[in-house]
Amino acid sequence: MLGATDLTQILETTEPQRLPSPERRTDLRIGAGIGIDEAARYVGCTRIALIRYELGHPIDDEHHERYWLVMRASWAICVLRGVE
């Protein structure tokens, strides 16, 4: 399970311009080993809301911003593991 400190350290090494496309949201999170419940807790919304968001439904700006922090961390973890 990732903690906030782990995410912060990973994000500091992530290049925002190399983030993946929205189409890879779920695959990327799963590839990094971040479960939907863990991501929802970090983002601060319900599991159902996050699943709907990953499928393309709208979400409010605050949760959107937090979700993209999770995605940046997921991307960084995948790159570190060579799973990009």
6 domain residue, yes or no: no
Q: How far apart are CA 75 and CA 56, in angstroms?
A: 19
Number of structural domains found in the chain: 1
pLDDT at 6: 64
71 domain residue, yes or no: no
Q: How many CB atoms lie within 10 A of CB 34?
A: 20
38: containing domain: 26-60
8 domain residue, yes or no: no
State pTM to two decimals. 0.67
Percent of the chain at pLDDT > 90 equals: 5
31 domain residue, yes or no: yes
pLDDT digits (tens, 9 = 90+) for 19-48: 566 677 788 888 888 888 988 998 899 999
pLDDT at 48: 92
pLDDT digits (tens, 9 = 90+) for 50-77: 888 888 888 888 888 888 888 888 887 8
10 domain residue, yes or no: no
Query: Tokens 């961390």 correspond to what residue?
Result: 73
pLDDT at 47: 92
11 domain residue, yes or no: no
Residue 49 has pLDDT above 80, yes or no: yes
Handedness of CA 32, 37, 40, 46 (dihedral sign): positive
